[in-house]
Amino acid sequence: MTTTDIDRIANVIRTQDILRRHDFNFKKKFGQNFLTDHNILTKITQTAELDKTTNVIEIGPGIGSLTQYLLEEAAEVMAFEIDKTLIPILDETLTNYDNFQLVNADVLKVDLNQYIAKFAHPEYPIKVVANLPYYITTPILMHLIESKIPFTEFVVMMQKEVADRIAARPNSKAYGSLSIAVQYYLEAEVAFTVPRTVFVPAPNVDSAILKMTRRDKPLVDVQDEDWFFKVMHATFVHRRKTLMNNLQAAFGKENKAVMEIQLAQAKISPSIRAEALTIAEFGKLSDALISFKD
């Protein structure tokens, strides 16, 4: 079905009317901020490049502002909403769509594979498109990325600061363990920024849409992925300290001489900081230090 702008959930007057009729109270613990801008929602949908052979997972649909746009473009949308008081609202606002499945559950606690099997066409590619709750953005994102579910793409809204960190490149202040953890699996770019003024209620920060596309294989080949991430996280514990200082703190000062040899073999300077290393160099570093693995 197609919807006129007048019928859109995402306008201030209709949003306020829906919330008032249902006597809805915002819950700070769920980080609820509802979009009310048609242009922003259109841009999100366009960025996701949906079609009728694509399924969508949405987390935190709220009252259905973004969901409505997704339903018109995708084959099917499955939305996970943790707040049970929003369920009757969504049942009302999206009642005319037959390609919508609503799940009242915490997405971090469900077996997503079981739910994905309930799509009418589970063989279709799956994209995650969502306005993620700011208070738990990173845990949700990493949970989905590290799952074995072959999401082809993520188009998600989050605090601009977090989006910048995820998409950051080496030798920048934003670049860190989160950048590497995501970019190891996905290509990431900030698609556009979203002002705080287009939400009800308005958050205290501006937001950004981050587009992440799954790589055919991880960015670098390493001997042990768990070890790769352990070494990488260790080097960022004290950002202003040198690589060697952080490595000594993690693996023992008594091993400094051995580590210096191993770093030299990997052609990595012990005196640089972690933020200067590319992901490929982190791969070389973790392989070079594999002898320290428990």
User: Is 33 known to sit in a ligand binding site?
Assistant: yes
Strand partners, 100: 77
User: Is 35 known to sit in a ligand binding site?
Assistant: yes
Q: Do 64 and 93 form a contact (C-beta atoms < 8 A)?
A: yes
Q: Do 275 and 175 form a contact (C-beta atoms < 8 A)?
A: yes
Alpha helices in the chain, H assignment, sequence order: 12-21, 38-48, 65-73, 87-93, 112-116, 137-146, 160-167, 177-183, 225-235, 243-251, 256-265, 279-288
Element (H, E) at 239: none
Which of 57, 102, 110 lies closest to 84 in space, CA to CA? 102
User: Is 106 known to sit in a ligand binding site?
Assistant: yes
Q: Do 219 and 179 form a contact (C-beta atoms < 8 A)?
A: no
DSSP percent split of the chain into helix, strand, coil, nearest 5:
45, 15, 40
Tokens found for residue 190: 């900030």
Tokens found for residue 214: 């799954």
CA distance 108 to 143: 7
CA distance 176 to 161: 13
User: Is 81 known to sit in a ligand binding site?
Assistant: yes
Binding site listing for S-adenosyl-L-methionine: 33, 35, 60, 81, 106, 131
What are the binding residues? 33, 35, 60, 81, 106, 131
